[in-house]
A and B are shown apart, each in its own frame.
Chain A
Amino acid sequence: MTTPPHPAAVLAVDVRKSYGKGETAVTALAGVSLEVPRGQMLAVMGPSGSGKSTLMHCLAGLDTVDTGSIEIGGTQVVGLGDKQLTALRRDRVGFVFQQFNLLPTLTAGENILLPLDIAGKKPDKAWYDEVVGAVGLADRLSHRPAELSGGQQQRVACARALVTKPDVVFADEPTGNLDSRSGAEVLSFLQASARDKGQTVVIVTHDPVAAGYADKVVFLADGLIVDHMDAPTSEKVLERMKRFEASA
């Protein structure tokens, strides 16, 4: 019997996390619940220090939570040991960080294949070609990161995140270091992978333009989800942000 695919790629219930103890304790997440359906591109927004990165790290199994439950593709993440968490990240989660996403000793192609290589798995040739073609880097695969532009590097990172067909791709300010054109390339690629290939994507961003690429936006403040917006556009997001600032 095969288990039916879980409807949600990511399911978080009442996730709490604080740093430090006693007087100096900082509550980063004060009870976040979140569901990301398969194939959705979700943007997480909020002011600096609101807990966006913390949330993403917890969801992705990079950090532990104090209480709450997190499921990735139906698998409970909370309580897993380092070994299982590592395997989870390797096989079921993709990452794009703001910068330094690639190993300098490996070529772009090798960087893309790294998670498969680590798992000792053979790449699905057709899928690999499709991903590489989609990021538009087919002719730069033998180059090392140092020989690529910042935008190209981020696109390589996106391809790496997608190559394992993960349950979800997390991207923390993937365009934070890019100019608007390179940023747009990366974002449209992520958007296309969600729309066309059913890839679940969660991005953290400050940028209303970036949020405009998403299917849904959630707004975080002081460790809580305070609002959300379906079918966002950059104008609507900008407006909402202005309201936040006014109320703050």
Chain B
Amino acid sequence: MLRATWRGLLSRKLRLLLASLSVLLGISFAAGAYVLTDSIGKVFDNLFATINQGTAVTVQGVSAFGTSGFDGNDREPVPQSVLDDVSKVPGVSSAVGAVGQPTSLILPNGKAFKSAGPPVLGVSYHQDSPQETLTIVRGSAPKGLGQVLVDANTVTKQHLAIGETIGVIGNGPQQKATIVGVARFGSTNSLAGATLLAFDPPSAQQLFGTPGAWDALSISAQPGVSDTVLRDRIAAALPADKYDVLTSAQSAAQQSGDIKKGLSFFNTFLQYFARIALFVGAFLIFNTFSMLVAQRTRELALMRALGASRGQVLRSVLTEAVAVGLVGGLGGLGLGVLLAKGFQALLSAIGIEIPKGPTVVETRTVVYCLVAGVLVTVVAAAIPARRAGRMAPVQALRESGPAESKSLRTRTLVGAVILGLGVVALVGGLAQGAIALVGIGALLSFIGVTVVSPVFTRPVVGLLAAPFARVGVAGRLGRGNAMRNPRRTSTTAAALMIGLALVAAISTLGSSAKKSIVAAVATSLGADYVLHTDQYQPFSPDVAAALSKQPEIGKVAAFTQARAKIGKAGTSSIQGVDPSSLQAVLRLKVLSGDLSGLRDDQLAVSKAEAKNLGAKVGDTIEVSWAKTGTQPMTVGAVFDNNQFAGGYLVTASDYARNVTDKKVVVVAVTAAASTTPAQSRAAIERGLASFPNVQIEDQAEFVKKQGAQIDGILNFITGLLLLSVLIAVLGIINTLALSVIERTRELGLLRAVGLQRRQLKRMIRVESIVIAVFGALLGLVVGVAFGWALVSALHDAGITDFAIPWARIVEVLVIAALGGVLAAALPARRAAKLKVLDAIATD
């Protein structure tokens, strides 16, 4: 039996190879994500281990909310007094205070530098200190506010040179500084592409840090004192629970741990798309095996007639599936490694330079590829294999192939039930914010729609193909072929449906979000201008004061933002603003309480968060701040959900009291009465003279920018979904190729009675286009429905309006039709190449 299986495998290798390819692509994506993130993680492990060599112990404030560096800084700075105390601990050779804060760089041409992603950091440089991680490669160490050391990567990429003057904006207005040196970070030109602007420690402290305090302390040990001993001594000398005292090994692990946390988040994100691709691949496997089993009816039945047991036949098909899965898994692993390398090259091309390092293929990655490859294939092939096993021996003797007249009633019923369960899970999951349930719901819905779809394949396909059928015989024949086997057509189309449904869903979400923003701006954005930096990096609070002096400017509201633990709602973002100017820039609908009269020790809460907290005006909520700890605050007002206001607002003075970093995120400005837009804009530009990092957007620009940002995210996700669309197109190729083989004799007959090659190709193309467009239609309907569900669920998050993305829908349909044309190319060529006589002689 095994020998027969093996022979069969070889004889069907081309068809199985195509099926393998579908698994392979999905697996390669997963493998690529694993290899990429593992490799980068490894690089950072090594990097931090080497750069921390001169440091024995580090001290920093504890993380108030236990968040990692990627979720924003929640550590209080370390006062100078602590540094003085630590210096006196026996065994300490030297202790230095370091500064590291986000900042803005103004290039010599006066323009603010816009990063493609990596941050711009203002840091301290400790000359001659063994703890220093920067190594000067050219020039000298910076001294005073007027001298800066820049990392080599930025110098190269921005074409900077020693002697040039750049601007640096930290806590206050722009500081001009001359580049005096170029530095490397450890062994690399930069820290993952971050721009580093280093000043001598007092200057760095003044520009970026907190007066009289440091972001972290780096301590070196005297000879003979081990890192752990020194750590314990220092920890004992400091107040308990306020500082994290770590050996350099620990802090290296923590730093690379932070990076790895980000990487693992990224990996998880990519794995979702890999799974979607695998799911689509499973459809392809299912279809391929179904067709192969149908084509081999006679052969399999003959085996049964010759005495092979059901189990043997079933196992022979499953063995093929395992082989396909292994090929897909291994090939996917190989391609994944290449993908990871390619992606790394891409990252460095857009400026995120990742230090060179070995390509890391963990055992977990290999196991995942093989197990997932085999599992997906075997599960998808299970139903066709079972069908093969149940083949009656008498079918060997019957004439022509499989009869497809079996009623669709039971199937439709089962599909409807699955679809129903899926919708319930999806809606329930969205209502409860349970992502896993949403995923299961989506999965079941897809399967449900696939199972149900053959019922309406004939009418819909008939309709879609009608224009082709009117034109000529090729169109009519193509339509007939697309309609003759509704199960096959609909499973092939369903594979395409999945990817396109997700594209449609997020596009719907995107278009709805854009519409909501337009509506929100129209109804609640009172500000004429919104000021912020690139990527909404916090900027100097002095901006607000500078603007208030201009007579053409009316109200100025500066929004600060920090994290705090709020009652039972957990850690959340909280904004500080002057309540008296708030209503002028944000026309919030106050549901209860007094918003513009919000006092210190009071909290304004959005409707959604009030519900979440179960709080109403007058209730007391415990708010924990990083700096000041837990404070009771009363709910002073509840306002209607609004995208700009977020969940929680406190007064600017409360914020200043409770938060160390006073930098603002957004300044909203109204023009003074009876000023022209040109006048008010000129006034703002004057006010921003020393803050070139701050951008001005009027309402229209703001809407456009937000829209562009949404489009960016949409395009990124759509790009990732294209993989599953590609696999689905492979599925169409596979179905058509198998159909061509299956219908060889028919094709021969058609050619014999005079169908031209050109007409034959057109016939196959029509079938392909119709299947693709059918799949796209299914996807669009399902996707827009998903999108609608998402939008409804996100109403409280500010997506208040629903908009169907018509442009994208038309795009998808056109692309699907083109995909159909493309998918038909190879099978059509193959069909046209058939020799008439050989084709007729086939059996």
Residues of A within 8 A of B (CB): 57, 62-63, 82-83, 86-87, 89-91, 95, 97, 100-106, 114-115, 117-120, 146, 160
Identify which of B400, B472, B746, B754 contacts A90 (C-beta below 8 A).
B754
Q: Please, how many residues of chain B have a CB less than 8 angstroms from a CB on the other chain?
A: 24
Q: Which residue of A lies closest to B755 (CB)?
A: A118
Q: Given A118-B759, A120-B472, 20 more contacts at CB 8 Å?
A: A62-B752, A83-B756, A83-B757, A87-B754, A87-B756, A89-B753, A90-B753, A90-B754, A91-B754, A95-B752, A97-B840, A101-B749, A103-B477, A104-B484, A105-B480, A105-B481, A117-B476, A118-B753, A118-B754, A160-B753
> Could you tell me if B749 and A86 are in contact, using CB atoms closer than 8 angstroms?
no
User: Chain A residues with Cβ under 8 A from B757's Cβ?
Assistant: 82-83, 86
Q: Could you list some 22 contacts between A and B, CB below 8 A? A: A86-B756, A87-B756, A89-B753, A90-B754, A90-B755, A95-B752, A97-B749, A97-B752, A100-B749, A100-B840, A101-B749, A104-B400, A104-B484, A104-B746, A106-B480, A114-B750, A115-B754, A117-B473, A118-B753, A118-B754, A118-B755, A118-B759
> Could you tell me if B753 and A115 are in contact, using CB atoms closer than 8 angstroms?
yes
Tell me, in angstroms, the Cα distance from A101 to B472 when the chains sit together: 22
Smallest beta-carbon distance A168→chain B, Å: 14
User: Chain B residues with Cβ under 8 A from A118's Cβ?
Assistant: 473, 750, 753-756, 759
Q: Which of B809-839 contact A (CB under 8 A)?
A: 836-837
User: Chain B residues with Cβ under 8 A from A106's Cβ?
Assistant: 480
User: Chain B residues with Cβ under 8 A from A83's Cβ?
Assistant: 756-757
User: Chain A residues with Cβ under 8 A from B310's Cβ?
Assistant: none
Q: Which residue of A lies closest to B747 (CB)?
A: A103
Tell me, in angstroms, the Cα distance from A15 to B840 when the chains sit together: 23
- Let me know if B532 is at the binding interface, CB within 8 A: no
User: Chain A residues with Cβ under 8 A from B836's Cβ?
Assistant: 62
Tell me, in angstroms, the Cα distance from A83 to B754 when the chains sit together: 9
> Could you tell me if B754 and A86 are in contact, using CB atoms closer than 8 angstroms?
yes
Tell me, in angstroms, the Cα distance from A105 to B752 when the chains sit together: 17
User: Chain B residues with Cβ under 8 A from A105's Cβ?
Assistant: 477, 480-481, 484
Smallest beta-carbon distance B693→chain A, Å: 68
Residues of B within 8 A of A (CB): 400, 403, 472-473, 476-477, 480-481, 484, 745-746, 749-757, 759, 836-837, 840
Closest 7 CB pairs of A and B: A90-B754, A105-B480, A117-B473, A89-B754, A115-B753, A118-B473, A105-B484
> Could you tell me if A86 and B755 are in contact, using CB atoms closer than 8 angstroms?
yes
Smallest beta-carbon distance B451→chain A, Å: 24
Identify which of A82, A95, A103, A160 contacts B746 (C-beta below 8 A).
A103
Smallest beta-carbon distance A225→chain B, Å: 22
Q: Which of A86, A91, A95 has the most CB of B within 10 A?
A: A86
Smallest beta-carbon distance A54→chain B, Å: 10
Q: Which residue of B lies closest to A93 (CB)?
A: B754
Tell me, in angstroms, the Cα distance from A163 to B425 when the chains sit together: 60
Asked whether A63 and B837 contact (CB < 8 A) given A104-B746, A120-B473, the answer is yes
Tell me, in angstroms, the Cα distance from A106 to B756 when the chains sit together: 18
Q: Which residue of B lies closest to A120 (CB)?
A: B472
User: Chain B residues with Cβ under 8 A from A146's Cβ?
Assistant: 400, 403
User: Chain A residues with Cβ under 8 A from B752's Cβ?
Assistant: 62, 89, 95, 97
User: Chain B residues with Cβ under 8 A from A101's Cβ?
Assistant: 749
User: Chain B residues with Cβ under 8 A from A104's Cβ?
Assistant: 400, 484, 746
User: Chain B residues with Cβ under 8 A from A119's Cβ?
Assistant: 754
Q: Which of B400, B754, B759 has the most CB of A within 10 A?
A: B754
User: Chain B residues with Cβ under 8 A from A95's Cβ?
Assistant: 752-753
> Could you tell me if A57 and B837 are in contact, using CB atoms closer than 8 angstroms?
yes
User: Chain B residues with Cβ under 8 A from A100's Cβ?
Assistant: 745, 749, 840
> Could you tell me if A86 and B746 are in contact, using CB atoms closer than 8 angstroms?
no
User: Chain B residues with Cβ under 8 A from A115's Cβ?
Assistant: 753-754
User: Chain A residues with Cβ under 8 A from B484's Cβ?
Assistant: 104-105
Q: Which residue of B lies closest to A63 (CB)?
A: B837
User: Chain A residues with Cβ under 8 A from B750's Cβ?
Assistant: 103, 114, 118
Q: Which residue of B lies closest to A89 (CB)?
A: B754
Q: Which residue of B lies closest to A54 (CB)?
A: B837
Smallest beta-carbon distance B53→chain A, Å: 76
Smallest beta-carbon distance A52→chain B, Å: 14
Q: Which residue of B lies closest to A105 (CB)?
A: B480
Tell me, in angstroms, the Cα distance from A114 to B754 when the chains sit together: 9
Tell me, in angstroms, the Cα distance from A104 to B481 when the chains sit together: 10
Q: Which residue of A lies closest to B832 (CB)?
A: A82
Tell me, in angstroms, the Cα distance from A241 to B323 when the chains sit together: 56
Tell me, in angstroms, the Cα distance from A207 to B759 when the chains sit together: 38
Smallest beta-carbon distance B326→chain A, Å: 37
Tell me, in angstroms, the Cα distance from A97 to B841 when the chains sit together: 10
Smallest beta-carbon distance A49→chain B, Å: 15
User: Chain B residues with Cβ under 8 A from A82's Cβ?
Assistant: 757
Tell me, in angstroms, the Cα distance from A134 to B48 when the chains sit together: 93
Tell me, in angstroms, the Cα distance from A82 to B472 when the chains sit together: 21
Tell me, in angstroms, the Cα distance from A31 to B686 when the chains sit together: 102
Tell me, in angstroms, the Cα distance from A101 to B746 when the chains sit together: 8
Tell me, in angstroms, the Cα distance from A115 to B473 when the chains sit together: 10
User: Chain B residues with Cβ under 8 A from A91's Cβ?
Assistant: 754
User: Chain A residues with Cβ under 8 A from B472's Cβ?
Assistant: 120
Smallest beta-carbon distance A154→chain B, Å: 14
Tell me, in angstroms, the Cα distance from A83 to B840 when the chains sit together: 19
Q: Which residue of B lies closest to A60 (CB)?
A: B752
Smallest beta-carbon distance B399→chain A, Å: 9
Q: Which of B476, B480, B755 has the most CB of A within 10 A?
A: B755
User: Chain B residues with Cβ under 8 A from A120's Cβ?
Assistant: 472-473
Q: Which residue of A lies closest to B758 (CB)?
A: A83
Q: Which residue of A lies closest to B471 (CB)?
A: A120
User: Chain A residues with Cβ under 8 A from B403's Cβ?
Assistant: 146
Tell me, in angstroms, the Cα distance from A83 to B832 when the chains sit together: 12
> Could you tell me if A103 and B756 are in contact, using CB atoms closer than 8 angstroms?
no
Tell me, in angstroms, the Cα distance from A57 to B480 when the chains sit together: 29
User: Chain A residues with Cβ under 8 A from B756's Cβ?
Assistant: 83, 86-87, 118
Tell me, in angstroms, the Cα distance from A90 to B752 when the chains sit together: 8
User: Chain A residues with Cβ under 8 A from B746's Cβ?
Assistant: 103-104
Smallest beta-carbon distance B774→chain A, Å: 18
Tell me, in angstroms, the Cα distance from A115 to B750 when the chains sit together: 9
Tell me, in angstroms, the Cα distance from A104 to B755 when the chains sit together: 16
Smallest beta-carbon distance B457→chain A, Å: 15
Tell me, in angstroms, the Cα distance from A44 to B185 when the chains sit together: 91
User: Chain A residues with Cβ under 8 A from B837's Cβ?
Assistant: 57, 62-63
Tell me, in angstroms, the Cα distance from A160 to B755 when the chains sit together: 14
Q: Which residue of A lies closest to B481 (CB)?
A: A105
Smallest beta-carbon distance A94→chain B, Å: 8
Tell me, in angstroms, the Cα distance from A104 to B399 when the chains sit together: 13
Tell me, in angstroms, the Cα distance from A174 to B836 when the chains sit together: 18
User: Chain B residues with Cβ under 8 A from A97's Cβ?
Assistant: 749, 752, 840
Tell me, in angstroms, the Cα distance from A119 to B477 when the chains sit together: 14
Tell me, in angstroms, the Cα distance from A82 to B746 when the chains sit together: 18
Q: Which residue of A lies closest to B401 (CB)?
A: A104
Q: Which residue of B lies closest to A97 (CB)?
A: B840
Q: Which residue of A lies closest to B485 (CB)?
A: A105
User: Chain A residues with Cβ under 8 A from B759's Cβ?
Assistant: 118
Tell me, in angstroms, the Cα distance from A2 to B400 when the chains sit together: 48
Tell me, in angstroms, the Cα distance from A102 to B752 when the chains sit together: 12
Q: Which residue of B lies closest to A83 (CB)?
A: B756
Tell me, in angstroms, the Cα distance from A91 to B755 when the chains sit together: 11
Smallest beta-carbon distance A130→chain B, Å: 20
Smallest beta-carbon distance A146→chain B, Å: 7
User: Chain B residues with Cβ under 8 A from A62's Cβ?
Assistant: 752, 836-837
Smallest beta-carbon distance B3→chain A, Å: 30
Q: Which residue of B lies closest to A119 (CB)?
A: B754
Tell me, in angstroms, the Cα distance from A131 to B472 when the chains sit together: 24
User: Chain B residues with Cβ under 8 A from A87's Cβ?
Assistant: 754, 756
Tell me, in angstroms, the Cα distance from A97 to B753 when the chains sit together: 11
User: Chain B residues with Cβ under 8 A from A57's Cβ?
Assistant: 837
Smallest beta-carbon distance A153→chain B, Å: 11
Q: Which residue of B lies closest to A90 (CB)?
A: B754
Q: Which of B476, B477, B759 has the most CB of A within 10 A?
A: B477
Tell me, in angstroms, the Cα distance from A186 to B496 when the chains sit together: 48
> Could you tell me if A103 and B749 are in contact, using CB atoms closer than 8 angstroms?
yes
